[in-house]
């Protein structure tokens, strides 16, 4: 029998999905952190972020044992305190859930399949080149309860794996393997055609994207949109802006349009009041 060849750390850090980060929220079991790191290494991914998982720092050695050759990913993991901190870290968050929306009005849990999620990202982002404007993170929830509605509402895309059975919940490392493989397959099929047809885009910065969202929401408020609809609009607009990877030019065109509409409505309101 041939013995397994152990990859060195530089080999593990290479891969077509290497620019995508992975986060896990409040992990309870070191074994899941280790296995997640191992699956990441299988697909050439190396950026692991642990959200609110300070307990795991005390169980690092156990996590490393289950990570096998991906021990370095566990040891170099970044820790952030809150989900809001994670959102500030990346331009686009891909949330994961086993419980998709049952009602059309539940925007927070509106899901796409892993392959369709990959197509959206490939169409609008460079997955193989490092770009500070296009930092992407796939987020996995707690071992037992997953991501909350509030956390999902802070993600820009939500993906879910349909198992074809009533038992839709997968272990985090199993779910990760399916999602990463789906991304890789779509990337293999589409990246060559994309490279031949797409123009280089100067992406809008996070600050410019935020200005677009804020101006559109201000326009909605001036148009007397109800508060509960404003909350849904905020989720929707943020997801559209992030998913489409607005160019800088597109962002300023939208800001200009919203700004002119806001100015005109404000003038009309003042005129009516006088």
pLDDT in single tens digits along all 274 residues of the chain: 344 444 544 444 456 788 899 999 999 999 999 999 999 999 999 999 999 977 787 888 999 999 989 999 999 999 999 999 999 999 899 999 998 877 777 777 889 999 999 888 877 666 555 555 558 999 999 988 999 999 999 999 999 999 888 888 899 999 999 999 999 988 887 655 544 445 445 667 778 888 888 888 888 888 888 888 888 888 888 888 877 777 888 888 888 888 888 888 888 888 887 7
Sequence-separated (6 or more) residues with CB below 8 Å from residue 196:
none
**Closest by CA position to 172, among listed 87, 63, 92:** 63
pLDDT of residue 9: 41
With tokens 């290497």, the residue in question is 18
Measure the CA angle with vertex 244, ends 242 and 246; round to 5°.
Answer: 80
Helix (H, G, I), strand (E, B) or coil at 256: helix
Q: Do 36 and 45 touch, CB atoms closer than 8 A?
A: no
In what helix (H) or strand (E) does residue 233 lie, and over which residues does it extend? helix 227-243
Q: Do 168 and 98 touch, CB atoms closer than 8 A?
A: yes
């Amino acid at each position: 029998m041939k013995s397994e060849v152990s990859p060195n750390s530089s080999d593990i850090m290479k891969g077509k999905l290497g620019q995508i980060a992975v986060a896990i929220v409040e992990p309870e079991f070191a074994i899941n952190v280790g296995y997640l790191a191992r699956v990441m290494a299988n697909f050439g991914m190396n950026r692991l972020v642990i959200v609110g998982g300070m307990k795991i720092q005390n169980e690092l050695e156990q996590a490393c044992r289950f990570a096998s050759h991906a021990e370095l990913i566990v040891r170099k993991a970044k820790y952030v305190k809150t989900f809001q901190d994670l959102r500030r870290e990346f331009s686009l968050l891909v949330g994961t859930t086993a419980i998709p929306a049952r009602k059309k009005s539940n925007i927070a849990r509106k899901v796409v399949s892993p392959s369709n999620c990959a197509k959206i990202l490939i169409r609008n982002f460079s997955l193989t080149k490092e770009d500070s404007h296009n930092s992407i993170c796939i987020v996995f929830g707690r071992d037992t309860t997953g991501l909350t509605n509030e956390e999902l509402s802070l993600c820009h895309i939500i993906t879910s794996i349909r198992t074809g059975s009533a038992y839709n919940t997968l272990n985090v490392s199993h779910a990760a393997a399916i999602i990463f493989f789906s991304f890789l397959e779509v990337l293999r099929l589409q990246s060559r055609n994309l490279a031949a047809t797409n123009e280089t885009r100067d992406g809008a910065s996070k600050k410019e994207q935020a200005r677009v969202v804020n101006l559109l929401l201000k326009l909605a408020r001036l148009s007397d949109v109800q508060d509960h609809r404003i909350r849904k609009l905020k989720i929707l607009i943020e997801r559209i802006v992030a998913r489409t990877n607005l160019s800088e030019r597109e962002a300023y065109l939208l800001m200009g349009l919203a700004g002119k509409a806001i100015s005109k409505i404000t003038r009309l309101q003042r005129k009516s009041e006088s």
